[in-house]
């Protein structure tokens, strides 16, 4: 039987054949961008927001490797912030590679994949991996 | 606003006591504070209590043990800043003239909590918590930026832990009363790279209490009332406003409010107790509190100014690192430490001729915000 795939949050990412994109929103009045989407502009309180597809690549702002379990992840796992060209900092799991150790400023690309298992459902979300 | 004074403080021993209930720990600290204040249970008019893990009418449960019931009681939570929030609650009620005498209690039983022996997570529904963020994780991410931006080294971070553990040796209440070397700190178990176990506060159970009253009646109870000259509590601003995560607008704004209210500046402060849940953050607080210029936190660590005996002792109690961190208790406990120094009662940890002290507490990780809350109190004799 196919496992249920449940997104970690609605409307936060879009899957496509080339990988996937994160979905932010932007205030039509002052231009402030929010990820995850904000219900109304948190800067000017305007309620007229438009969806914005974020770039697929950003730069690693900072990271750490966890050696004790977090809520859903067994160690070792990497987490960090990625600076997106749109001016938002995104917190996410980072995919560890053997040949590309993390370095502040390195290029990172978004991937959409399973985050963790919950009973017979897969919780799907976003991670970043070194380019 | 009326002037408010602290007339009594008390704390339980801090350590791992899974056999002792939070009520027992709270009772121990309340009895100590009532004795210290020379106040009778029936004199207390209002109570604020803070506890994070396992809530449920804690003020009532603790105070009924000592004959205090049927008064106004409020139970508050603000993560690690809960104790500071409880203290401020009492301060506010007296300063605004609602009551004359009140009690602030902070208590936490970490060893019997759902997160015992685990990493402290944000709230259950928090997106970043679900994505893998924990308290050590945030601070490790911060540490890496400190190394990148300020030339801080892991040895600098370890030195802060060495200092605070040295101070713990001077404190009979401390959970850890052992000297450590930089090497021992760095070789302890890795938690979230580069933060090792001995750079993290331990799981601690404990309680701390402060009794406050209107300055007008303080002399009835003590010859050494300690005035609350500054009190500020703010919540974190949006993360999207924060270009540089090592610079906390929350910390500096709260400090500014407290200093302005107190009519003093950082140069007037004789000692500081601040949030050192993770060794690396302590040097950032030096900058937020104005103890040194921005970017100079590393220098202040290296020149040992913040050791007991130094120019501006920071965490002479041993801090959260060595004395321990029962989350909601710490915000009251660190005010108690300031009070002891200002009264000349801090034993081997004493800051000579201390006249003005600052207690800082920080709490909470919330996705999308720079932090949960920051509470700062400035006290003077």
What is the least distance, in Å, from the CA of B112 to any CA of chain A? 18
Of the partner residues A42, A73, A104, the one whose CB lies closest to the CB of residue B132: A73
Smallest CA-to-CA distance from B76 within B274, B327, B316 is with: B327
Structural domains in chain B?
A: 4-114+205-228 (3.40.47.10), 127-200+230-380 (3.40.47.10)
Subunit contact A67:B145, Cβ cutoff 8 A? no
Please say if B80 is a catalytic residue: yes
Contacts of A42 in chain B (CB under 8 A): 238, 240
CA B134/CA B121 separation, integer angstroms:
5
The pLDDT of residue A17 is 81
Chain A residue with the nearest C-alpha to that of B242: A89
The pLDDT of residue B192 is 98
| Catalytic-labelled residue, pool B165, B167, B275, B325 | B325
In this prediction the pTM is 0.96
Best B131, B238, B243 member to test A by mutation, with max A CBs in 10 Å, is B131
Contacts of A63 in chain B (CB under 8 A): 141, 144
Contacts of A72 in chain B (CB under 8 A): 130, 132
Smallest CA-to-CA distance from B315 within B155, B168, B142 is with: B168
Smallest CA-to-CA distance from B332 within B149, B164, B81 is with: B81
CA B272/CA B315 separation, integer angstroms:
6
Contacts of B145 in chain A (CB under 8 A): 61-62, 104
> For chain B, which residues lie within 8 Å of any Cβ of chain A, measuring from their own Cβ?
118-119, 121, 124, 127-134, 136-137, 140-145, 148, 189-195, 238-240, 245, 367
Smallest CA-to-CA distance from A34 within A80, A86, A93 is with: A86
Q: How far is CA B268 from CA B193, B218, B355, B378, in A?
A: 37, 24, 9, 11
Of the partner residues B129, B136, B144, the one whose CB lies closest to the CB of residue A71: B129
Subunit contact B192:A65, Cβ cutoff 8 A? yes
What is the interface size between A and B, counted as CB pairs within 8 Å? 92
Signed CA dihedral, B145, B141, A81, B246: sign only: negative
The pLDDT of residue A2 is 65
Residue B223 CB: number of other CB atoms within 10 A? 7
Q: What is the ipTM of this complex?
A: 0.95
Q: What is the domain extent for residue A26?
A: 4-130
Give per-residue pLDDT as tens, B331-351.
999 999 999 999 999 999 999
CA B316/CA B338 separation, integer angstroms:
9
Chain A residue with the nearest C-alpha to that of B140: A64
Report how many domains make up chain A: 1
Question: Token pair of A8, please?
Answer: 């970690």
Please say if B325 is a catalytic residue: yes
The segments of chain A whose pLDDT lies below 50 read none
pLDDT per residue of chain B (381 residues) written in tens, 0 to 9: 999 999 999 999 999 999 999 999 999 999 999 999 999 999 999 999 999 998 889 999 999 999 999 999 999 999 999 999 999 999 999 999 999 999 999 999 999 999 999 999 999 999 999 999 999 999 999 999 999 999 999 999 999 999 999 999 999 999 999 999 999 999 999 999 999 999 999 999 999 999 999 999 999 999 999 999 999 999 999 999 998 999 999 999 999 999 999 999 999 999 999 999 999 999 999 999 999 999 999 999 999 999 999 999 999 999 999 999 999 999 999 999 999 999 999 999 999 999 999 999 999 999 999 999 999 999 999
Subunit contact B191:A65, Cβ cutoff 8 A? no
3-state secondary structure of B5: strand
Smallest CA-to-CA distance from B206 within B105, B310, B96, B312 is with: B105
Subunit contact B141:A79, Cβ cutoff 8 A? yes
The pLDDT of residue A87 is 95
* Bridge partners (DSSP) listed for residue B46: B72, B102
Question: Token pair of B217, please?
Answer: 């009646």
């Amino acid at each position: 039987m196919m496992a249920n795939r449940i997104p970690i949050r609605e409307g936060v990412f879009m899957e496509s054949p080339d990988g996937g994109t994160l979905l932010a929103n932007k205030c039509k009045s002052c231009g402030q961008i929010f990820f995850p989407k904000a219900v109304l502009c948190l800067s000017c309180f305007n309620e007229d927001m438009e969806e914005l597809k974020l770039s697929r690549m950003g730069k690693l702002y900072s990271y750490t490797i966890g050696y004790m379990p977090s809520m859903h992840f067994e160690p070792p796992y990497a987490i960090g912030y990625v600076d997106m060209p749109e001016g938002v900092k995104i917190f996410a799991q980072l995919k560890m590679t053997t040949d590309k150790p993390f370095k502040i400023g390195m290029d990172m690309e978004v991937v959409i994949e399973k985050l963790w298992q919950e009973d017979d459902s897969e919780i799907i979300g976003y991670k970043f991996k070194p380019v | 606003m009326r002037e408010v004074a602290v007339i009594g403080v008390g704390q339980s021993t801090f350590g791992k006591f899974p056999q002792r209930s939070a009520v027992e720990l709270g009772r121990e600290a309340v009895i100590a504070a009532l004795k210290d204040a020379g106040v009778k249970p029936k004199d207390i008019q209002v109570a604020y209590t803070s506890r994070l893990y396992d809530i449920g009418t804690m003020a009532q449960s603790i105070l009924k043990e000592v004959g205090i019931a049927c008064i106004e009681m409020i139970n508050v939570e603000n993560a690690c800043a809960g104790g500071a929030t409880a203290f401020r609650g009492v301060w506010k009620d007296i300063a605004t003239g609602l009551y004359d005498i009140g009690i602030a209690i902070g208590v936490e039983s970490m060893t019997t909590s759902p997160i015992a022996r685990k990493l402290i997570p944000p709230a259950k529904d928090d997106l970043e918590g679900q994505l893998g963020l924990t308290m050590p994780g945030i601070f490790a991410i911060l540490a890496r930026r400190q190394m990148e931006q300020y030339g801080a080294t892991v040895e600098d971070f370890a030195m802060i832990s060495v200092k605070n553990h040295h101070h713990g040796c001077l404190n009979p209440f401390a959970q850890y009363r052992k000297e450590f070397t930089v090497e021992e700190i760095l070789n302890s178990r890795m938690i979230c790279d580069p933060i090792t176990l001995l750079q993290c506060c331990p799981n601690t159970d404990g309680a701390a209490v402060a009794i406050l009253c209107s300055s007008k009646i303080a002399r009835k109870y003590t010859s050494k009332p300690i005035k609350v000259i500054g009190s500020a509590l703010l919540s974190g601003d949006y993360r999207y406003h924060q270009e540089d995560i090592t610079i906390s607008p929350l910390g500096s704004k709260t400090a500014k409010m407290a200093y302005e209210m107190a009519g003093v500046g950082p140069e007037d402060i004789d000692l500081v107790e601040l949030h050192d849940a993770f060794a690396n953050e302590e040097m950032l607080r030096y900058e937020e509190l104005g103890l040194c210029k921005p970017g100079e936190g590393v220098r202040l660590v290296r020149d040992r100014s913040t050791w007991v005996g130094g120019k501006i002792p920071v965490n002479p109690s041993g801090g959260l690192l060595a004395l321990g961190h029962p989350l909601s208790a710490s915000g009251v406990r660190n005010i108690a430490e300031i009070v002891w120094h200002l009264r000349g009662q801090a034993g081997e940890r004493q800051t000579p001729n201390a006249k003005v002290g600052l207690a800082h507490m920080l709490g909470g990780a919330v996705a999308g915000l720079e932090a949960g809350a920051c509470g700062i109190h400035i006290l003077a004799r």
